[in-house]
């Protein structure tokens, strides 16, 4: 049955992606198999307050056949929050076996496997675990640390400049890069810049489709720093919520955002703020959009990050390199 479970788990992973990437809950998918291994019901979690994936799948069945197996991307939860515990729902439904990919690390939600076993349900853990971890890694970080996963993004010329010497930066990257960046932005919980960027560029910090319309989900706009901001700044328009934090303490910023359920934070600059995040070792993932331009000058994408010699460099590994029109997107993480 191993191949049957792996195939079912792949389907559950596909279903999980139908749920929102944003929000404090993870993306989870589930399928129910009958005794022969055929899929008889499917479900996914559609965000906080909606049924969890297992319950969504069970709701498609009037009766759960004897010998059924639930295949879930994440260990069924064991607590009552906005919805009831999924582990108990599976027990009450009469499921004979539960197969899952990733163990739940949450202090409140973990322990579903123990509840299932105590009720006589067979449990198989770790099926396609690597794929499952890749799906929920940002949520795993949030659940384990209580602070957001930090993605640092910038667009620059090939020689690392974020703008020309006269300050113009529109557009360094091409339309394909901008469209891809805005799609990723729409899946983040919050987007952060410093007051200097707001004063210099007056950005909207919204997630927009190529035609200029707004995505249905807009990240929380976060501005940090001590400079006063004009009331007519575009970040105060009604297109998204805005939070201004009058501090330069990044740990305090992340703690505040974590307490508000921000799972993934996009840091978009400017160079001063971006450099502080790098120097503080707070970046989980780098997204660098490189354009085939040479600008020269002093307007670099990153400033001093506390590296005084080659042995002190911030060493990264490339996760992927993707061609976007004339540009290149590099995804990198710490080694």
State how far the Cα of 189 lies from the Cα of 161, in Å rounded to an integer: 27
CA-derived radius of gyration, the chain: 23
Strands laid side by side in the 149-157 sheet: 242-245, 220-224, 190-194, 264-269, 149-157, 285-291, 327-334, 316-324
State how far the Cα of 260 lies from the Cα of 215, in Å rounded to an integer: 22
- For residues 57 and 32, is the Cβ–Cβ distance under 8 A? yes
- For residues 68 and 35, is the Cβ–Cβ distance under 8 A? yes
- For residues 322 and 328, is the Cβ–Cβ distance under 8 A? yes
Q: Which residues contact 220 (CB under 8 A, 6 or more apart)?
A: 189, 190, 191, 240, 241, 242, 243, 260, 262
| Catalytic annotation present for 14 | no
Catalytic option among 6, 24, 42, 54: 54
Residues across the chain: 335
Residues marked as catalytic: 54
């Amino acid at each position: 049955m191993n191949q049957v479970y792996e195939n079912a788990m792949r389907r559950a992973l596909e279903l999980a992606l139908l749920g929102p990437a944003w929000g404090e809950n993870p993306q989870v998918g589930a399928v129910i198999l009958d005794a022969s291994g055929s899929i008889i019901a499917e479900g996914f979690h559609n965000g906080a307050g909606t049924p969890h994936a297992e319950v969504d799948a069970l709701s498609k069945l009037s009766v759960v056949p004897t010998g059924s197996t639930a295949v879930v991307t994440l260990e069924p939860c064991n607590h009552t929050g906005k919805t009831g515990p999924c582990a108990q729902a599976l027990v009450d439904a009469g499921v004979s076996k539960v197969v899952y990919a990733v163990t739940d690390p949450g202090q409140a939600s973990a322990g579903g496997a123990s509840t299932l076993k105590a009720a006589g349900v067979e449990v198989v853990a770790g099926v396609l675990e690597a794929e499952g971890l890749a799906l929920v890694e940002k949520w795993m970080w949030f659940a384990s640390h209580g602070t957001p996963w930090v993605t640092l993004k910038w667009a620059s010329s090939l020689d690392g400049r974020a703008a020309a010497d006269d300050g113009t930066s529109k557009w360094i990257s091409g339309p394909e890069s901008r469209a891809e960046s805005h799609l990723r932005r729409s899946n983040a919980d919050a987007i952060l810049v410093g007051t200097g960027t707001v004063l210099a560029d007056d950005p909207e910090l919204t997630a927009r489709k190529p035609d200029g319309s707004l995505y249905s989900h807009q990240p929380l706009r976060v501005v940090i720093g001590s400079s006063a901001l004009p009331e007519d700044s575009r970040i105060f328009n009604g297109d998204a919520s805005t939070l201004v934090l009058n501090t330069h303490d990044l740990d305090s910023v992340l703690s505040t955002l974590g307490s508000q359920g921000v799972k993934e934070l996009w840091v978009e600059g400017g160079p001063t703020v971006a450099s502080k995040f790098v120097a503080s070792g707070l970046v989980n993932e780098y997204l660098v959009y490189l354009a085939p331009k040479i600008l020269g000058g002093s307007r670099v994408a990153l400033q001093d990050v506390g590296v005084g010699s080659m042995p002190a460099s911030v060493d990264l590994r490339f996760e992927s390199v993707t061609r976007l029109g004339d540009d290149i997107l590099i995804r990198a993480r710490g080694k």
